[in-house]
Amino acid sequence: SGLTHVLCTDVARDGALAGPNMDLYREAVARFPGIAWQASGGVRDAQDLHALDRVGVAAAVSGKALIEGRIQPEELVPFLPAA
């Protein structure tokens, strides 16, 4: 289909700071490994970003966690190699 990137939001976790739906992203990456998955919904801290990275997610939305100061700028360095 030519699809290369997908932003996937678990709306039940969006803004809830309850942790990302790791099962959802694990299955998405396993079923469609050629797609760069972007996870959204539930990210609460840098540990969640590391967990998503280990699953193979290409990017993550961490809006509320950043706004509330739950992720410090220095914790983002491993995920922003060009910064």
Contact indicator for 42, 18 with CB cutoff of 8 Å:
yes
Residues 39-68: tens digit of each pLDDT:
999 999 999 999 999 999 999 999 999 999
Instruction: Round to whole Å and give the CA distance between 57 and 7.
Output: 10
What pLDDT sits at residue 1? 67
C-alpha angle with apex 24: 37 to 70, nearest 5 degrees? Answer: 75
Q: Output the pTM of the full model.
A: 0.91
What pLDDT sits at residue 2? 87
